[in-house]
Structure 1
Amino acid sequence: MEESGFLPHSHKIGLWTHLDFHLEFHGDRIIFANVSVRDVKPHSLDGLRPDEFLGLTHTYSVRWSETSVERRSDRRRGDDGFFPRTLEIHWLSIINSMVLVFLLVGFVAVILMRVLRNDLARYNLDEETTSAGSGDDFDQSDNGWKIIHTDVFRFPPYRGLLCAVLGVGAQFLALGTGIIVMALLGMFNVHRHGAINSAAILLYALTCCISGYVSSHFYRQIGGERWVWNIILTTSLFSGMTACFLVGQFRNLEHIVEPELESK
């Protein structure tokens, strides 16, 4: 089965009727054996009706080759290509991504620490040095973080929308983490049609409580009173945006297929 695309999803079904056996031997001992179907084009089963019979002839071929290896090695199993490549975990790519994230976080932290250290150094200057006319005459209230110190603890104007976005973000963080953990544990089989999609829908339903808790918790902390509207906004934020996106894509598809609709 060959799968392609996500939305829309399509797949092709093929049947291999030829098997190629590859055997390696050393003396009177078989060291390695493998069966593959890579060199033969499969018969397509697309469009085959359930009540339709298809006559096929199954064949096979055997290739013997002598090797200098005296003992069988199980590590060669993954080098042959019989197992799907999508099941392999690319640990090097994961490590590179994690190192890049840690470096970016470290750079941002260093920059922020330097800025804060410079501001604190300016605010802690000796009053005698300032009053002596050293040339560093400045107004402490108009520099650095003191410019925005009154806005730090001020409630935002759209507190309900902010809490809803925080809740949905926490839900999707838990959803993505769950899918990644399930993939690393090998719970997804590439031959199962739509396994990841089904798992994503199930995890989305199970993690709805996370979005509700996070949103209501922050909404209560900032003094929100219309908690019913906050719950409704949190519930319908992602689904409403998805519905609007699908409607927009459908309208764009209509204009592409039927250009005369644009003039009406």
Structure 2
Amino acid sequence: MDPLRRSLSLRSLILLLFFLLIHGARSFYLPGVAPEDFEKGHLLKVKVNKLTSIKTQLPYSFYSLPFCHPKKILDSAENLGEVLRGDRIENSLYEFEMRDPKMCKILCRIVPDAKQTKDLKEKIADYYLVNMILDNLPVVVPLWRSEQHPTPVYQLGFHVGLKSQYAGSKEKYFIYNHLAFAVKFHRDAETDLARVVGFEVKPFSVKHEYEGTWNENTRLTTCDPHARDTVVNANSLQEVEESKEIIFTYDVEFLESDVKWASRWDTYLLMSDDQIHWFSIVNSLMIVLFLSGMVAMIMLRPLYRDISKYNELETQEEAQEETGWKLVHGDVFRPPSNSDLLCIYVGTGVQFFCMVLVTMIFAILGFLSPSNQGGLMTAMLLLWVFMGLFAGYASSRLYKMFKGTEWKKMAVRTAIVFPAIVFAIFFVLNALLWGQKSSGAVPFGTMFALVFLWFGISVPLVFVGAYIGFKKPAIEDPVKTNKIPRQIPEQAWYMNPAFSILIGGILPFGAVFIELFFILTSIWLNQFYNVFGFLFLVFIILIVTCAEITIVLCYFQLCREDYLWWWRSYLTAGSSALYLFLYATFYFFTKLEITKLVSGALYFGYMLIVSYAFFVLTGTIGFYACFWFTRLIYSSVKIN
């Protein structure tokens, strides 16, 4: 085959793969979010999701409490991310007829026993929220902050009930047994078809009363199905007591809205104060850019002067004694101790970097819409698995440069070390969730799927990448390494490895800590996060700051004739993960109200996994920056 035809076929193959990737991403990450038109009178079915609480962080199934349930409970198809989030989407008895309002609709009557009463009181005390879904829109409760802010904020889900205690009396628990739904729709004037663009609810606690004995045709005396306001003649709240009946009712009204279907998620994505968010991001960006410029100016002039001086010395007839970083040219590329472990972590960091980069690109392009619950987590898991190819390649290339020969063992370690540590922590946390009978506990089938993704796809791809990388010629050092290592002189206190490593992690953490606040808020305080454009910008800033601070400290280290830069470059940028974990601890005690031991263990366990992953990512960025820097400067000077 001639070169032109080969080039055209390769280009066609790349275009075909790109098309399949984009098409597959759209079809996989955005299932069931196409606009649906409803005729007047069309039956709308409400689905129920997990019960959540920011106080315990333990999700539970909706039907774990004595709510009205259909004869047969059907689970909706959930993606991998939804299962890992603890989502349990099921059918319910709540059904609406499109644009047909109903008042005081009786759902069912429940008489809780001792255990059910205890469960209800515990969920009310822990401020659990009920989550429902209509046409892929979660239900929200509008809350008005003050008269100065006429626009309401929205709370995802509504509370199970409320707790009150009067002076000298015991605590009483009341359940929200009457729900006033408001379904907003956008109507097409030509076809008279409508699309759901909003789903709101106002919960009430009503002690319903009726005459005679309870039967299917019972009429309540506490609300009139023909009245505009349902909750009338409600003299008291519905208290939760053992063997005391609870009657569940609901209203539904339909409100025409000017909001179009494409913009219906704007309400959910604007729950936080965007002005503060944007100002903080811009402020952080300006500070980091200023610091990066200062670092660049400090580095370029001394380095350029050093290279010019060393090259002039080589042209002089009289030999002069070498000083500074050139003095250690015979040891700077000596393989470090525990070089195999370094190769493993560098390969894993490359895998993380590729996964984060592609995920952010997909998110910016709109493939990972918040309307697809669990799509982001599913994408990250699958991309992590497929990026094992790059992990094997990077680790084997570095391993061969260190004169390693057993590439298969290196591939196995690269594919297993980091996932095994994370899986062990995850398994312990999952066991805690199992013990609490939480819906957040990953089922056995999903656990098997995760193990299959790991050993069935990720491990083979790591092997393929390692094979390709090891077949390539070894990376040659720009200078030769002496057989006998030179002695490192005594260092000043500020060049102590522990001190310089800890100092090096401050700047990368400072580049992301403001954005980290919003990310933690979205994860632990039940809010949406959708500013991926700013997140990508912060990611670029993180890369720049990790690279620059590592290069600067590496330069100072080499000028002090300390050539042990391999691990220190990795740990310098990676130490930012320590500050991330400390900030997560600060966030736990200042922003969260978690009191249960299991909930605290879950928080710190998951934040430990996040910090560990952040360490691997930033450490790899710092290592490659320092690796490129040392090769550049030692290839720029003449050495006999």
- Residues 59-208 of structure 1 aligned to structure 2 (within 5 Å): 59-60=252-253, 82-85=267-270, 102-120=289-307, 123=310, 140-141=321-322, 143-208=323-388
User: Residues 144-177 of structure 1: CA distance to partner in whole angstroms, max 9, x if unpaired?
Assistant: 2124322222222322222221111111001111
TM-score normalised over the length of structure 1: 0.58
TM-aligned CA distance change 1:252 to 1:84, over 3 Å: closer
Within 2, Cα distance between the matches of 1:204 and 1:167?
12
Number of the residue aligned with 1:221 = 401
TM-aligned CA distance change 1:233 to 1:81, over 3 Å: closer
User: Residues 35-60 of structure 1: CA distance to partner in whole angstroms, max 9, x if unpaired?
Assistant: 755572389xxxxxxxxxx9644333
Question: Match of 1:148, as an amino acid?
Answer: V
8 A Cα contact 2:363 2:369, kept in partner: no
Number of the residue aligned with 1:236 = 416
Question: Match of 1:146, as an amino acid?
Answer: K
Question: Match of 2:181, as an amino acid?
Answer: H
TM-score normalised over the length of structure 2: 0.27
Q: Number of residues paired by the alignment?
A: 214
TM-aligned CA distance change 1:39 to 1:159, over 3 Å: same
TM-aligned CA distance change 1:211 to 1:81, over 3 Å: closer
TM-aligned CA distance change 1:105 to 1:42, over 3 Å: farther
Quote how far apart the aligned CAs of 1:22 are: 11
Quote how far apart the aligned CAs of 1:94 are: 6.5
User: Residues 173-224 of structure 1: CA distance to partner in whole angstroms, max 9, x if unpaired?
Assistant: 0111121112112222434332222111111111111101111122223321
Quote how far apart the aligned CAs of 1:96 are: 6.1
TM-aligned CA distance change 1:165 to 1:100, over 3 Å: farther
Quote how far apart the aligned CAs of 1:18 are: 2.5
Percent identical: 25
User: Residues 216-245 of structure 1: CA distance to partner in whole angstroms, max 9, x if unpaired?
Assistant: 122223321121221111111211221454
TM-aligned CA distance change 1:93 to 1:233, over 3 Å: farther
8 A Cα contact 2:180 2:251, kept in partner: yes
Number of the residue aligned with 1:13 = 131
Give 5+ residue unaligned stretches, structure 2: 1-48, 60-83, 88-129, 133-138, 140-178, 187-195, 206-246, 436-596, 599-640
Quote how far apart the aligned CAs of 1:108 are: 2.9
Question: Match of 2:202, as an amino acid?
Answer: V
User: Residues 65-111 of structure 1: CA distance to partner in whole angstroms, max 9, x if unpaired?
Assistant: xxxxxxx9x89x9699545338x9x8877766666555444433322
8 A Cα contact 1:19 1:35, kept in partner: no
TM-aligned CA distance change 1:125 to 1:81, over 3 Å: closer
User: What secondary structure sits across from 1:40 in the alignment?
Assistant: strand
TM-aligned CA distance change 1:178 to 1:92, over 3 Å: farther
Would you say 1:210 and 2:390 are equivalent positions? Answer: yes
Question: Match of 1:40, as an amino acid?
Answer: K
Would you say 1:58 and 2:254 are equivalent positions? Answer: no
TM-aligned CA distance change 1:190 to 1:6, over 3 Å: farther
TM-aligned CA distance change 1:120 to 1:55, over 3 Å: closer
Within 1, Cα distance between the matches of 2:354 and 2:409?
24
Within 2, Cα distance between the matches of 1:35 and 1:248?
41
Superposition CA RMSD, Å: 4.9
Within 2, Cα distance between the matches of 1:39 and 1:247?
37
User: Residues 10-33 of structure 1: CA distance to partner in whole angstroms, max 9, x if unpaired?
Assistant: 56423664327699xxxxxxxxxx
* Further displaced range: 109-118 or 95-104: 95-104
Within 2, Cα distance between the matches of 1:223 and 1:58?
74
